[in-house]
Amino acid sequence: MILYPPAKINLGLHILAKRQDGYHELETIMSTIPFYDILELTPSDSDTFISSGIVVPSDGQPNLCQRAITLLRRYKDFPSVRIHLRKQIPIGAGLGGGSADASYTLLGLNQLFNLNFSNLELEDFAGELGSDCPFFIRGGLQLAKGRGELLKALPSMDQRFQFVLCNPQIHVSTAQAYSGVKPNNARKSIEEIFSKEGLSLLHNDFEDSILITHSLISKLKQELLAAGATYAAMSGSGSSVFGLFEKDQKLSLTDAINQHVVYIGPISF
């Protein structure tokens, strides 16, 4: 079985409050994008994980895909499986690639071995693997709240854009990103801005500090806007930056953008 876990972007991201459990209360709109890893699941004599493409770092702990196998076996037994992950989505870039891989492992195992878990059950399992993981069980365009696991499907905007995604290959740690954020719960919600005021007024709170400390990320965003992007933003806690351009617009991208582009193509919301 071959699956294609997609990356995601955040259309705006508000940090609302620090929670007692150590996490932050947030709200964001997440959308899958047509940029994929490749995941192959094959019945095998023993559980095996291999990867190719972008190097998947190892800290001596099981990969998220391997953790997905262990998690599902707590609920139902199934044969051993060989996983081959072709990694194409940049790692630590705010694109959710690892979460997508884990969630699609759950989806694939459920289908491959006829485990008959519902998508709601898989979402609950995915939430044990990471805050972004339940989103990838659903996909599409979703309002996310809580730690990111509380989802609400949003209606399509019926707008088509040209999408330019840049990865400056800068690692921004989650701890660093959150340390520069001042939570704010006294403003319009992301959902209200998105539905009534449009994309251009959305904001990612992580940008307030990260664009100051990482000039290249700031430069890429500003050059996407100068090139005519309707909306440009950093995705998640960074460091990837994307721009949305009108569907028929002729793109004129600077050398700085072209040096860091990892995907250009159509996208709809």
Catalytic annotation, residues: 8, 132
Under 8 Å between Cβ of 130 and 68 = no
Under 8 Å between Cβ of 13 and 65 = no
Under 8 Å between Cβ of 148 and 15 = no
How far is Cα 91 from Cα 136, in angstroms, rounded to an integer?
16
Cβ-proximal residues to 5 (8 Å cutoff; 6+ apart), any chain: 36, 37, 39, 89, 97, 100, 101, 103, 104, 136
| DSSP bridge pairs for 198 | none
Cβ-proximal residues to 53 (8 Å cutoff; 6+ apart), any chain: 37, 85, 86, 87, 88
Please give the C-alpha separations between residue 178 and each of 40, 89, 95, 167, 207, in angstroms, as whole numbers. 34, 23, 17, 20, 11
Under 8 Å between Cβ of 138 and 153 = yes
How far is Cα 65 from Cα 107, in angstroms, rounded to an integer?
11
Helix (H, G, I), strand (E, B) or coil at 72: helix
